[in-house]
């Protein structure tokens, strides 16, 4: 691979002046500035509902829900965070506010309010009244409703949120991944029982993704991408690894400090993960999906975790970045955001319509030596404007790109 390659048979029109103009346009955007005031909510559509659950306890579900609420509030959206855990609610402690079982209250964070579960479901424990109470959460006065599900009622994720974004939180520990796989396998079994021959089409409407927590290295973070590929192939559920959080003393302290990490001053890698997660889940994708998985509940059947899980893992670990770059398609430059890189390729966000097999040149002009590499489109996740690119040739340039990302994380 040469450091600079032509993008196509046509002469390239990507001059250095054009590249500089694109860079200024992307990097001068005032992202993540605190909104000056509340966003008007009159005349809007029903709020977007995001249900955050986990297959096992102790993986950071409530932490993800609280920080995601703050990050979305930072985008100027009015957010209501619902703590649906009656036995062990945590959100009031994470925000450092007193408990108020039957009243909505401010959190001290702009655009974010806390809505206790008792106000909706304390007197609705039976199946039908509970379902009606949870459905009514979609009528709250907000742009976004984030629901922190109870650990003891994790089955609610399948039973009551057919038209919502479903986020699953897990760590990379083998028992946690096995429990998450069994939980998703239960969703497939529900779909088969409820929808019969149409189960595959129903599961294809699954909206949401996987959030990893407590990783130590990029290799560990890669486990979540491999797990998502396993679920897509074995269960037919279009699960996407949306991001992973590294083990962080600052993040751990925020859980006892009475303020979510994203509400504290400063930007670090974990805060960036929540910001990126907020942007992904708030991407406009048209009408809400409909993936109903309600029906009879019960303990899921034992599921054997695939013994050959390793075959879903990439040879080269990916490194999360947030770089501005230019994708040159048939001689035309297009501003893109690079989300992750490895020695084999890169993940980008772009509005350019691309198809699997398309070729282009990706210009990493933020790097010191402004590397340019020829790429081929490997996969497209249209709803998230995400595109996976593979490097056509894996040589010196690819290794230098991965090395630059590894160095940013302080990896040797």
267 and 302 share one domain:
yes
pLDDT the model gives residue 264: 92
pTM over 0.95: no
Does residue 9 belong to any structural domain of this protein? no
- What tokens does 329 get? 């398609």
Dihedral in degrees, nearest 10, Cα atoms 116, 120, 126, 132: -130
The CATH number for 373's domain is 2.40.10.220
Give the pLDDT score at 101. Answer: 66
User: Would you state the pLDDT for residue 381?
Assistant: 74
Does any domain span residue 11?
Answer: no
* Final residue before a domain boundary, out of 293, 312, 331: 312
Co-location of 339 and 393 in the same domain: yes
Give me the sign of the Cα torsion angle 240, 66, 63, 102: negative
Q: Are 357 and 216 in the same domain?
A: no
| Within a domain: 40 | no
Extract the tokens encoding 1: 């691979």
Whether residue 289 sits in one domain with residue 155: yes
Residue 212 inside a domain? The answer is yes
Residues 383 and 292 in one domain: no
Domain of residue 230, CATH code: 3.40.50.300
> Has residue 185 been placed in a domain?
yes
Q: Which residues neighbour 119 within 8 Å (Cβ) at sequence distance 6 or greater?
A: 101, 102, 103, 104
Alpha-carbon distance of 133 to 140, in angstroms, equals 11
Task: Tell me: do 177 and 295 sit in the same domain.
Answer: yes
> Is residue 10 domain-resident?
no
In total, how many domains does the chain have? 2
Among residues 297, 312, 327, which one ends one of the domains?
312
Residue 112 lies in a domain: yes
CA distance 50 to 249: 27
- 403 and 373 part of one domain: yes
pLDDT of res. 55 = 95
Same domain, 269 and 340: no
Inside any domain, residue 1: no
User: 218 and 88 in one domain?
Assistant: yes
Return the closest-CA partner of residue 165 out of 129, 122, 210, 132.
210
Per-residue pLDDT at 320: 83
> Can you give the residue range of the structural domain that contains 68?
48-312
Same-domain status, 65 and 187: yes
Q: Which of 312, 338, 364 is the last residue of a domain?
A: 312
User: Are 250 and 319 part of one and the same domain?
Assistant: no
Q: How many whole angstroms separate alpha carbon 282 and alpha carbon 338?
A: 18
Which residues, 6+ apart, have CB-to-CB distance to 53 below 8 Å? Answer: 61, 149, 154, 156, 157, 166, 167, 168, 169
Whole-number pLDDT of residue 5: 40
Render each residue's pLDDT in the chain as its tens digit; 412 residues.
434 343 333 444 343 334 333 333 333 233 333 333 444 444 456 899 999 999 999 999 999 999 999 999 999 999 999 998 878 889 999 999 987 666 788 999 999 999 877 655 665 555 677 788 888 888 899 999 999 999 888 999 999 999 899 999 999 999 999 999 999 999 999 999 999 999 999 999 999 899 999 998 888 888 998 999 999 999 999 999 999 999 999 999 999 899 999 999 888 889 989 998 998 888 766 666 789 998 765 555 678 888 777 788 777 888 888 899 999 999 999 999 998 999 999 999 998 999 999 999 999 998 877 899 999 999 887 666 789 999 998 889 999 999 998 887 665 5
Query: Environment class of residue 342 by beta-carbon count within 10 Å: exposed (0-12), middle (13-18) or buried (19+)?
Result: buried
**209 near 241, Cβ under 8 Å?**
yes
> Do residues 206 and 127 both lie within one domain?
yes
């Amino acid at each position: 691979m040469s450091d600079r390659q032509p993008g196509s048979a046509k002469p390239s029109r990507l001059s250095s002046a054009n590249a500089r103009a694109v860079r200024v346009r992307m990097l001068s955007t005032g992202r993540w500035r605190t909104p000056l005031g509340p966003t008007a909510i009159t005349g809007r559509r029903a709020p977007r509902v995001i249900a955050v659950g986990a297959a096992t306890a102790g993986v950071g579900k409530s932490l993800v829900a609280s920080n995601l609420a703050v990050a979305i509030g930072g985008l100027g959206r009015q957010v209501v965070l619902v703590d649906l855990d009656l036995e062990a609610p945590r959100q009031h402690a994470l925000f450092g506010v007193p408990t108020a079982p039957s009243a909505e209250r401010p959190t001290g964070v702009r655009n974010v309010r806390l809505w206790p579960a008792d106000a909706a479901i304390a007197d609705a424990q039976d199946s039908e009244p509970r379902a009606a109470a949870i459905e009514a959460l979609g009528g709250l006065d907000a742009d976004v409703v984030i629901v922190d599900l109870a650990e003891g009622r994790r089955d609610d994720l399948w039973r009551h949120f057919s038209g919502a974004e479903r986020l699953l939180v897990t760590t990379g520990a083998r028992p946690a991944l096995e429990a998450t796989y069994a939980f998703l396998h239960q969703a497939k079994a529900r779909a088969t029982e409820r929808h019969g021959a149409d189960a595959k089409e129903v599961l294809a409407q699954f909206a949401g993704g996987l959030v990893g927590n407590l990783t130590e290295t990029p290799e560990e973070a890669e486990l979540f991408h491999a797990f998502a590929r396993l679920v897509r192939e074995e269960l037919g559920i279009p699960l996407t690894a949306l991001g992973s959080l590294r083990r962080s003393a600052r993040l751990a302290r925020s859980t006892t400090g009475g303020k979510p990490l994203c509400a504290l001053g400063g930007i670090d890698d974990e805060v960036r993960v929540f910001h990126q997660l907020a942007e992904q889940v708030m991407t406009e994708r048209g009408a809400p999906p409909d993936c109903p998985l309600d029906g009879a509940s019960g303990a899921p059947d034992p599921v054997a975790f695939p013994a050959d899980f390793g075959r879903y893992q990439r040879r080269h670990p990916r490194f999360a970045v947030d770089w501005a770059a230019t994708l040159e398609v048939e001689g035309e430059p297009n501003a893109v955001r690079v989300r992750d890189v490895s020695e084999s390729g890169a993940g980008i966000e772009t509005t350019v319509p691309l198809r699997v097999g398309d070729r282009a040149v990706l210009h990493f002009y933020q790097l010191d030596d402004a590397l340019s590499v020829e790429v081929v489109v490997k996969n497209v996740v249209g709803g998230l404007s995400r595109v996976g690119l593979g490097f056509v040739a894996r040589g010196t340039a690819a290794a230098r790109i991965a090395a630059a990302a590894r160095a940013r994380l302080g990896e040797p």
